[in-house]
Amino acid sequence: MASLQIHPPFLWTAGTIWPPICLAIVAARFVMRKSQRMRYGLDDWLTLPALILILGMAATILAGVAQHALGYPTPKPEPGTELTATSPQQTVTRKAYMAITLMQTAALTFIKLSCMLFYQRIFRTASHIANILIYIILALILVWGLGFFFSFLFACNTHFDYFWTNLENQLKCPADLSKIDLSLSVSDVVMDVILLAFPIPWIMRMQISWGNKLLVLGIFTLGGLAVAASITRLVIIGEELNVEFAATADEDFVSTAGLYFMYIEACFALTAICLPSLSGIRKNRAIKNLIEGFRSVFSSNSRGSGSRIAADGINSREAPEDISICFEEPLSQPTSSAEPISIVDDADLEMQPLPKKDHKHTTVTCGTE
């Protein structure tokens, strides 16, 4: 990682590609909830502040690149002035790093809370232990988010300018910014692993084939990409604490790499927590009409009868089976506590909560159209 340098093209690409992706996937989540006639939950609403913060991170990155600060080498100071010297580019980089650290911490807190509240909707009838674990993890996430947000914000008390003026002022801060960064990264990785592993025991109890179990697990564990970005950031921060590395490393390149992977982690995490809610998106009428519209455009523009025949052949095929994740609402039909999770139809695979003893419920099935 010592030679890792994130240059402007990577920053421009990430800053322009991810915002529309995140906007689309959050919007699709709400569309799917409405099309399935399901009420919006707190897990849905928490994606909105997370989305706004990610858009703010993208804007910060693009502004930093536009000012030739992020993705560019650190201007060389005069010999003997390393602690007191600064430049407009360094000031912009340090401001961007502080802003993105705060925004990412808040965004990840909202994302993790949304993830656990989503689990609560699915597994709330699984067992008493599962419910207790969910509340414990929710409390830990709140403490984690608030603790690190304010620890970093007030690391220099109210001397916020110490963050971006020069190294001499940063050394005056009562708290060690690098140690806070390291603690944040380590705990972030640990909590992500917990969130990824949490649903596995209950998914394995589903009464479906092993192939479908792996498919459901795959939907949930796509958050592993966010964990990979978090681990990369952890390695970068660990290298910053290495005295030999710090003596030869370019400060602005190191900061750019750190905030780049903070941003990528948040984008992957938001995408991952929305994907389970979009598992039945192919059945949504608006989405199907949009896909058919694209097919019509490509079919009309295709050259030669062979291309048209091939397109018609593709359109005539049956759509692959979808996995739809639905929930249960309490009602009047009793179920046996010994029942495993049941699946209505192989062509419309649903993940439902585990029944709880003496809990009366009925199943709300996702509508096909």
pLDDT surpasses 50 at 95: yes
Q: For the chain, give the percent of residues with pLDDT over 90.
A: 34
337 pLDDT band, cuts 50/70/90, is very low
Residue 335 phi, psi (nearest 5): -130, 155
Residue ranges covered by each domain of the chain: 8-76+83-283
226 pLDDT band, cuts 50/70/90, is confident
Which segment of 60-74, 152-166, 169-183, 305-319 scores lowest on mean pLDDT?
305-319
Which pairs with CB-CB distance under 8 Å and at least 24 residues apart come from 38-46? 38/327, 38/364, 41/117, 41/118, 41/121, 42/114, 42/117, 43/113, 43/114, 43/115, 43/117, 43/118, 43/120, 43/121, 44/114, 44/277, 46/110, 46/111, 46/113, 46/114, 46/117
- The stretch 156-185 carries a mean pLDDT of 86
Of 216 and 170, more confident: 170
Average pLDDT, the chain: 76
Of 306 and 48, more confident: 48
Integer CA distances (angstroms), 255 to 4, 61, 140, 196, 366, in order: 11, 12, 28, 28, 46
Locus of tokens 């905030």:
259
Q: What is the pLDDT of residues 100-155, one digit of tens each?
A: 999 999 999 999 999 999 988 877 766 788 888 999 999 999 999 999 999 999 98
Of 58 and 253, more confident: 58
DSSP string, 337-369: TT--B--SBTTEEEE-PPP-TT-EEEE-PPP--
292 pLDDT band, cuts 50/70/90, is low
- The stretch 295-304 carries a mean pLDDT of 51
Exposure string (b/e) for 109-148, b if CB count within 10 Å is 16 or more?
A: bbbbbbbbbbbbbbbbbbeeebeebbeebbeebeebbeeb
pLDDT of residue 335: 41
Beta-sheet pairing, 328-334 with 360-363: antiparallel
pLDDT of residue 286: 55
pLDDT of residue 282: 57
Which segment of 139-153, 178-192, 208-222 scores lowest on mean pLDDT?
208-222
Which segment of 84-98, 151-165, 218-232 scores lowest on mean pLDDT?
218-232
300 pLDDT band, cuts 50/70/90, is low
> Which CATH number is associated with domain 8-76+83-283?
1.20.1070
pLDDT surpasses 50 at 326: no
Q: What is the pLDDT of residues 233-278, one digit of tens each?
A: 888 887 776 644 555 677 788 889 999 999 999 999 999 899 887 7
Residue 239 phi, psi (nearest 5): -70, -35
CA neighbor of 98 nearest in space, from 173, 178, 152: 152
